[in-house]
Structure 1
Amino acid sequence: MQFNRRPKFRPTRTIGGQEVTPRKSMGQNFLVDEEVARWIADQIEPDGAAFVVEPGPGLGAMTQYLVDRPQKLLLIEKDNALAPQLETKYGHRGVEVQHGDATQADMRDWYQHGDVRVIGNLPYSVGGEIMKHMLTPPTPVKSAVFMLQKEVCQRLAARHGEDGYGALSVLVQRDWDVELLRIIPPEAFSPKPKVDSAIVRFTPRPPSTLPVYDRRLFEKLVRMGFSQRRKQMKNLLPPAPESWEALAGSLEMPVTMRAEELSVLQWVNLSRWYEERKTADAGQKASEIFDVVNERNEVIGQKTRGEVHAQGLLHRAVHVFVINARGDVFLQMRSHLKDVSPLKWDSSAAGHLDVGESYTACAIREVREEVGLEITTTELAAQLPAGTHTDHEFVELHIARHNGPMRCLPEEVPYGEWFTPAQITAWVEARPQDFAKGFVSCWKAWKP
């Protein structure tokens, strides 16, 4: 005999004049304290901001204090019932409502807005996933204010030597300065959570404050080191190059050190030791020799990199667009160590020809040295004359094909991202200042 199951009862509440059914599976605790909502909204400094994103706006408690303040406001709401309500309430006021999962939001279109700010009362159940998705480089986000469980916020903001300092603190603080702003009691929500919440603000950490390092190795070592906090790190990490004693000495720490005793900088230096990076970051050498050419791209002599750039001499360079099977193009963020256009976005790989080197040989070498790909051939896509638009370079643009992950070399490229041609075109048109000059010229010469 078959029985019909009684549907699970979900109590409906009247919150802010709306009949809603909080979903436990989505971790929904709606903010109802208007003073708190207004105060949080102010912390992202939305007035005149280019682009503000609010993931999980719920009933719009904070949204009402954001509307009409930034140039563009985007709401991302997963709940099937709440998303249409937000569209009805705010759509006519120029607010864009995206019905979807904030943990999977495609942020690549956001780059064209420049100053991207994110604010949200994040659900306890997926708050960590949303934060990781939006704040892990590469990301267009320039600042963020999030409300999360108090314990999580304390761990995010904990400094070396403070309670709560752990793997989460280290992994986040390598990229962000984190500030705990305020504790919010359960009474500010409906239904009331069983724990306090807190507000944290994220501001990008300047790249120059840490030496270059392999991000993936760093993450692996940090997780291993904090996996058993009571154990000494020498019993948790792989055998150190040279010796554990030498590694500890380089960090000015005892051989008995534990994970929480290391600052973020010391963790980076520990990771560099495993990479066998023993010297300080030097960046590009001004003494490197280039061919100098005339207006017909004929070699007329050789000068150092420093002389070529200082005197605006004509020389040669290559740009490479690496394209995958979907037609996406990989763009790189230039290292802060670059002498020209540091921290600008650029082609998949780009560089100057060595003395006597061909354009094709240079393209193959730069792809290997910057994004770790071994290729044997490229396709010539365009030839650009030298001028101010190319930083006085005669440029050849080459195309390479690759499917799969990229492995950027940190001295050259801290990180990169795959973009559709349409996304790149919109970004270049909106914010050419975000890119190296040579790239903009190459893109305009090639764009499909």
Structure 2
Amino acid sequence: MRSQGQGKRSSTRIISGQEVAPRKSMGQNFLVDDSIAKWIADQIEPDGAPFVVEPGPGLGAMTQHLVGRSQQLLLIEKDHSLGPELQKRFATREDVMVMHEDATKVDTRGWYRHGDVRVIGNLPYSVGGEILKHMLTPPTPVTSAVFMLQKEVCDRLAAKVGQDGYGALSILVQRDWDVEMLRVIGPEAFNPKPRVDSAIVKMTPRDPRTLPVYDRRTFERLVRLGFGQRRKQMKNLLPEAPGGWQALVDALGKPATLRAEELSLEEWVQLSRFYENRTGADAGQKATEMFDVVNERNEVTGQLTRGEVHARGLLHRAVHVFVINARGEIYLQKRSHLKDVSPLKWDSSAAGHLDVGESYAACAIRETREEVGIEISGTELAAELSAGEHTDHEFVELHLARHNGPMKPFPEEVACGEWFSPETLDSWINARPQDFAKGFVSCWKAWKNT
């Protein structure tokens, strides 16, 4: 592509003897202002980044300002003319990959092995929301994102309580992401010119410690019900609250005539917790919980509290469970930030310490119920691991269970979870063992060697 006067570019190109123009059916408006394209590319800070993804690169207005700056650049283009052209254009570059696929359906699980995953895109108006939802809904490997979207959508993404555009989208996005409006872009930067302004937002993961834990499904259901008919009072939209509506609004410090847009994100979380009967402060793992202490032969020598066992590095017992589905994928959980060991690390489907006098098999069944909310009738012993630094001083049994989902993670225990193929996990573990709880890595190696 060549510039055509004052940083502008033509919106058409000749590809395989045919002129390619923006497709209305795909919501395409090509960015043709080169100075703006470069400015947007700079916002994702691509220099030296391990992995940058650009969904919908189109004619490559931003791509040209990304190539050669990150360690690896992935372009995802659905268009049947532009996709193959991009593949040809970058065929000789080892640092650029092109996927001729739909960005709303691409499998992102292989991205975890890169660690730092940055996504940037001038998203089509017609599917921008779907791309955002697909790539940013937890669990996700994405660590930061810069998107250009219709300004009205960006306003809604970034809006706080009391501001124009504040609604269900604002709350459902901001529970996981901090959203910053960077810049408004007028129609003249595109060809064809859209009828509305565009805007650029930057999104970074929200610190999970800034909100108390809550059940995500209950939260989303209540938010959608509350904003379903904005003019109606919430007492006419939400299900009966435990103890009645007045008890709920009293707990929130709000009037009985409350409407959805009057609650902040934090208050919506409080409301959801009220429906879940989570009325107290978050309770992490209890340091007073009793464990069996064992010797180097895994023989019980006494009982001490969790806090003392961990503080003194004493030998004790634990079980890990790999839940495997019909596709051969393994469910991994991301540990809650409330965990006293390896918070926010990826771990086995379920794992935990044996209660005093409890068997490994019984513990495996109990932990799968308590952590990921499934009932299994039995497990298969897959490996036994001796205690040491590699297991955090635990004698571990690894058990296998079969289940196809769904999972119902308990938020005090599990932040989120995902199914992974063994091949994806091998690649990720080899590249970034620091992303995982130490005991899981040891169990994984033991299982692979059986």
TM-score, length-normalised on structure 2?
0.96
Cα drift, residue 263 of structure 1: 0.4
Contact map agreement 1:323 1:329 (CA 8 A) in 2: yes
- 2:236 aligns with 235
How do 1:62-211 and structure 2 match up within 5 A? 62-94=62-94, 95-211=96-212
Contact kept in structure 2, 1:292 and 1:300, CA below 8 Å? yes
Alpha carbons 1:103, 1:130 under 8 Å: kept: yes
Q: 1:60 corresponds to which letter in structure 2?
A: G
Where does residue 11 of structure 2 map in the other structure? Answer: 15
SS of 1:306's partner is helix
Structure 2 partner of 1:50 = 50
Is the contact between residue 128 and residue 149 of structure 2 (CA under 8 Å) also seen in structure 1? yes
Counterpart amino acid of 1:38? K
CA apart distance, 1:16: 6.6
AA of the residue aligned to 1:82: L
Q: Is the 8 A contact 1:349 1:367 kept in 2?
A: yes
CA distance in 2, matches of 1:217, 1:373: 18
Alpha-carbon distance between aligned partners in 2 of 1:213 and 1:293, rounded to the nearest angstrom: 36
Contact map agreement 1:14 1:20 (CA 8 A) in 2: no
Q: Decide whether the 8 Å contact of 2:50 with 2:72 is kept in 1.
A: yes
Shift of 1:88: 2.0
Cα shift at 1:224: 0.6
Deviation at 1:241, TM superposition (A): 0.6
Verify the 8 A CA contact 2:10 2:32 in the aligned structure 1.
no
In the aligned structure 2, how far is the partner of 1:314 from the partner of 1:27? 61
1:307 alignment partner in structure 2? 308
- Say which SS state the counterpart of residue 331 (structure 2) adopts: strand
Counterpart in the other structure of 1:353: 354
CA distance in structure 1 between the partners assigned to 2:85 and 2:375 by the alignment: 52
| Aligned-residue offset at 1:21 | 2.2
Is the 1:50–1:71 Cα contact (8 Å) retained in structure 2?
Answer: yes
2:25 alignment partner in structure 1: 25
Q: Does 1:372 find its partner at 2:368?
A: no
One-letter code of the match for 1:68?
G
C-alpha distance after superposition, 1:250-307 (max 9, x if no partner): 1111111110110001001100111111111010000000000000000011110000
Partner Cα separation in structure 2 for residue 239 and residue 378 of structure 1: 40
TM-fit CA distance, 1:141: 0.3
Question: Residue by residue, what CA displacement relative to the aligned partner does 1:372-421 show, whole Å, maximum 9, x if unpaired?
Answer: 11111100000000000000000000000011311111111121000000
Contact 2:11 2:21 in 1 (8 A): no
In the alignment, the residues of structure 1 paired with residue 12 and residue 47 of structure 2 have an alpha-carbon distance, to the nearest angstrom, of 25
Tell me the amino acid that sits aligned with residue 200 of structure 1: V
SS in 1 for 2:92: helix
TM-score computed with the length of structure 1 as normaliser: 0.96
> Residues of 1 paired with 2:227 and 2:384: CA distance?
52
1:443 match: secondary structure: helix
> d(CA) in 1 for partners of 2:135 and 2:360?
38
- Say whether the 8 Å CA contact 1:425–1:447 is kept in structure 2: no
TM-superposition CA deviations, 1:145-174 (whole Å, max 9, x none): 000000000000001111110000000000
Letter in 1 for 2:181: L
Partners of 2:287 and 2:129 in 1: how far apart? Answer: 44
Q: Identify the range of structure 1 (314-323 vs 241-250) with the bigger mean alpha-carbon deviation.
A: 241-250
Q: For structure 2, which runs of at least 5 residues remain unmatched after alignment?
A: 1-8
One-letter amino acid of the structure 1 residue matched with residue 102 of structure 2:
D
Distance 1:355 1:311 in 2: 18
Contact 1:16/1:32, CA 8 A, preserved across alignment: no
Matched AA of 1:224: L
Q: Which residue of 2 aligns with 1:284?
A: 285
Structure 2 counterparts to residues 211-290 of structure 1, below 5 A: 211-290=212-291
Q: Secondary structure at the match of 2:427?
A: helix
What is the Cα deviation at residue 243 of structure 1? 1.5
| CA shift digits 1:348-378 (9 cap, x unpaired) | 0000000000000000000000011111110
Pair 1:337 & 2:333 matched: no
Cα deviation digits, residues 329-350 of structure 1 (max 9, x gap): 0000000000000000000000
Q: 2:12 touches 2:22 (CA, 8 Å); kept in 1?
A: no
Instruction: Tell me if the contact between 2:319 and 2:363 (Cα under 8 Å) persists in the aligned partners.
Output: yes
* 3-state SS, counterpart of residue 104 of structure 2: helix
CA displacement at 1:249 relative to structure 2: 1.1
| Aligned residues of 1:334 and 1:346 also touching (Cα < 8 A) | yes
Cα deviation digits, residues 309-340 of structure 1 (max 9, x gap): 00000000000000001100000000000000
Q: Which residue of 2 aligns with 1:392?
A: 393
Aligned residues of 2:104 and 2:130 also touching (Cα < 8 A): yes
1:7 is matched with none
Partner letter of residue 78 of structure 2?
K
For 1:338 and 1:14, how far apart are their aligned partners in 2? 54
AA partner of residue 269 (structure 1)? Q
Instruction: Give 1:35's aligned residue.
Output: 35
**Counterpart contact for 2:13–2:21, Cα < 8 Å:** no
Displacement of 1:17 after TM fit?
Answer: 5.5
Partners of 2:396 and 2:405 in 1: how far apart? 27
1:14 to partner: Cα distance: 4.9
Q: What secondary structure sits across from 2:121 in the alignment?
A: strand
> Matched residues, percent identical?
76
Rounded Cα–Cα distance in structure 2 between residues aligned with 1:187 and 1:85: 26
